[in-house]
Amino acid sequence: MNKAGHVALGVAAGSVLLSFWPSGAITSSVVYILAVAVGSLAPDLDHKTSTASNLIQLSTKNRRFAQSLGSLLLLLAAALWGLPRLGIEVDEGWVRSAPLWAAAGAMSFLLAKLRSLVLLGVGALLLAAYAIYDWHWFTALAGGALLLLPMVKHRGIIHTPEFALALSVGAYAYAQQSELWMVQAISMGLIVGWWAHLVGDLFGREGISSLFSKRVHLAFRLFDNGGIGERMLAKLCWGVSILCWILLVVPVSWKIDRLSALFL
Ligand SMILES: [Zn+2]
């Protein structure tokens, strides 16, 4: 399923659930539904060029440029360091600048790997917050998952129902102990969005697998990625979402008045 389908399905699932358990306040409902949309794209952070990943890295063209520039700068540094040792005369100032070119080359390589850098950095910060400030164990789980992300393959551990379950239990427990409505709305939104993403992948060809055995694999193969079936489902989902929000926003008393006026 493509990003448009994932967001449509996630927002519809989130809106339907919201109609059953309305939060009462429109602000928290909006924050919740935004978190659902983010959560419905988040599992594809394990895909190197997904929409989620592209938010934290340079474009493909710029990544290639940074890589080439990095190689060039390292080559220059190696030449400045090596040529005098081979008996070839090089200006003293240039020779001494070799470490600077090497550092610039390394920086350029890091820019090309920005996605890994961001994931590892945020993961390490969350783990540190858990260890030092005694944050909720959910932060350790999220931090560990982020550290894993640069290394795992697409539709691997991050796409398993077991991981989703651990994440849900963690996020729910975190939301329960927090008194901030914002934390509760975001946590619940992420859980709903994450599961909706897995359901979306389940409809497609690739499906999802269990963490413990690749043989436990489910794929309904209802439509191709981005195909007509998926686009129709997305439209239906937006229709359902709009209906849910109309019912949510328009006061019930007003609705009853209108309905009775229609029929009586
Ligand atoms: Zn996916």
Instruction: Express each pLDDT in 124-152 by its tens digit.
Output: 999 999 999 988 899 999 999 999 988 88
pLDDT for position 253 = 62
pLDDT for position 264 = 65
Query: Counting beta carbons within 10 angstroms of the beta carbon of residue 84, is it exposed (0 to 12), middle (13 to 18) or buried (19 or more)?
Result: middle
Cα dist from 223 to 6, 59, 127, 175, 218, whole Å: 13, 29, 40, 36, 14
Percent of the chain with pLDDT over 90: 61
pLDDT for position 49 = 85
pLDDT in tens, 59-90: 999 999 999 999 999 999 999 999 999 999 88
Q: Of 127, 129, 155, give the one whose Cα is nearest residue 142.
A: 127
Q: Are residues 12 and 93 in the same domain?
A: no
Structural domain contains residue 172: yes
Structural domain contains residue 129: no
Q: Are residues 82 and 199 in the same domain?
A: no
pLDDT in tens, 12-38: 999 999 988 877 788 889 999 999 999
Structural domain contains residue 169: yes
Q: How many residues does the chain have?
A: 264
- Between the CA of 3 and the centroid of ligand 1 the distance, in Å, is 9
- Could you tell me the pTM of the whole model? 0.80
- Between the CA of 87 and the centroid of ligand 1 the distance, in Å, is 57
Structural domain contains residue 79: yes
Structural domain contains residue 124: no
Q: Are residues 163 and 40 in the same domain?
A: yes
Structural domain contains residue 138: no
Picking from 1-5, 20-24, 200-204, which range would have the lowest pLDDT averaged per residue? 20-24
Q: Are residues 244 and 163 in the same domain?
A: yes
Q: Which amino acid is present at 46?
A: D
Structural domain contains residue 227: yes
- Between the CA of 164 and the centroid of ligand 1 the distance, in Å, is 12
- Between the CA of 155 and the centroid of ligand 1 the distance, in Å, is 6
- Between the CA of 162 and the centroid of ligand 1 the distance, in Å, is 15
- Between the CA of 208 and the centroid of ligand 1 the distance, in Å, is 9
Residues with CB under 5 A from ligand 1 (ion): 44, 201
Q: Are residues 42 and 158 in the same domain?
A: yes
What's the domain count of the chain? Answer: 2
Q: Are residues 90 and 160 in the same domain?
A: no
Q: Which domain holds residue 174?
A: 3-47+154-263
Output the six-digit token pair for 166. 């651990």
